[in-house]
Structure 1
């Protein structure tokens, strides 16, 4: 009976090592910094959330920053989207999409986003701009 218990322990440890080994993100986080680059004298309203967490509404003056830091789940499916409003505009964008952002942002310790009328631009690494999502939320 002792041999069977030892086998189960070794099997369990090996299985966990294979499952998570080399790809474990336990304790990994991603930081986001959002900058209002809509234009001079234009206030930017924003509200960011995930499926499970609501970060609340914010209001940014021109060139003002706001940010947050979130844990990356072990499945690497962490997703946060933000709704942005200014003037008569209402737009939204996935501000954290791990499959797109993780490796670029981890290398630089955070994702810096410039929010512009034509769409958000990730300034981290090589600047890359993205279109707004089409559908309203």
Structure 2
């Protein structure tokens, strides 16, 4: 009987430790997401962006001229793991992409939880410091 009680207590302690670790990963973290128009010459034709969350909320859109940006904050939680999807259009090009996905971005956005996108003629670049950019994908 004593053996079963010990196993039960150990199982309960393991479950509590797992729950606390998971909660620490997701609980009340705030991320800044910023998308910048990095086109070299689109002064006459803006980059149009429209974004929304997977819960159906629409955060709106804008027409971005050169170096304009569009930004918002995301708060995550144990039961709140948001996904933000944006559609970009410029001069016949159109692309929908995941601007923020907590499972992907909680580590790559860095200690300061900064998630930056630079949209250029050849594709979409990601950074967490606005110095080092890595191309994530192309328009097509």
| TM-score of the pair, normalised by structure 1 | 0.75
Q: Could you list the per-position Cα deviations for residues 24-56 of structure 1 after superposition, in whole angstroms to 9, with x for gaps in the alignment?
A: 122112110110012322411100111212111
- The answer to whether the aligner puts 1:66 opposite 2:67 as a matched pair is no
Q: Is the 8 A contact 2:36 2:68 kept in 1?
A: yes
Decide which of 127, 133, 136 is 1:127's aligned counterpart. Answer: 133
Unaligned runs of 5+ in 1: 1-12
Deviates more, 1:70-79 or 1:56-65: 70-79
Please report how far the alpha carbon of residue 109 of structure 1 lies from its aligned counterpart in structure 2 after TM superposition: 3.0
Matches within 5 A, 1:1-137: 17-24=16-23, 25-40=26-41, 41=43, 42-52=45-55, 53-75=57-79, 77-124=81-128, 126-132=132-138
CA RMSD after TM alignment:
2.6
Which 4+ stretches in 1 moved above 3 angstroms? Answer: 13-19
* CA distance in 1: counterparts of 2:102 and 2:50, whole angstroms: 19
The structure richer in strand per residue is 2
TM-score (normalizing by structure 2): 0.74
Q: How many corresponding residue pairs?
A: 123
Unaligned runs of 5+ in 2: 1-11
